[in-house]
Amino acid sequence: MFRIALVTTALTAMMGMAMAQERISISSDWGTVDAVVADNAAGNALLEMLPVTIRMRDHLRQEKTGNLPRRLPESPRVRDFAPGTVGLWGSGDFVVYYREGRVPRPGIVVLAQVQGDVSIFDRPGDVSVRIERTDR
């Protein structure tokens, strides 16, 4: 549990979330979560793309992944992730992590951090999600 808190704190600091405070909601038939968007070029480009609906599939029983309709710009990458990290693997590969872990180099671009429980994604199978701005 301490490792999750440490990774989340480090990701939050790297993302500059205290500066941006832009929020998104990620909703599906399984539920809705809200996230604070990273203050980086990729996070800003994601906001400009919204709203968008994408199909996501389970990968490695740690994340849901899907393809964005457009590529996002490159931004700093990290290798560690915590439950609730919303990221970008390739320039259009959207990912929501529901477990903690570490990815190989070059790492992921952090797009946002979910505020709350991401266990709604911890189930097998595909899911369609709608990502949109929110003011909650």
In sequence order, which residues have a C-beta less than 8 Å from that of residue 92 and are 6 or more positions away? 67, 68, 69, 70, 71, 72
Nearest to 66 by CA among 75, 76, 56: 56
Instruction: Give me the chain's average pLDDT, please.
Output: 89
> Do the Cβ atoms of 42 and 88 come closer than 8 Å?
yes
- Name the pTM for this structure: 0.85
Predicted local confidence at residue 7, as pLDDT: 52
- Helix (H/G/I), strand (E/B), else coil: 81: strand
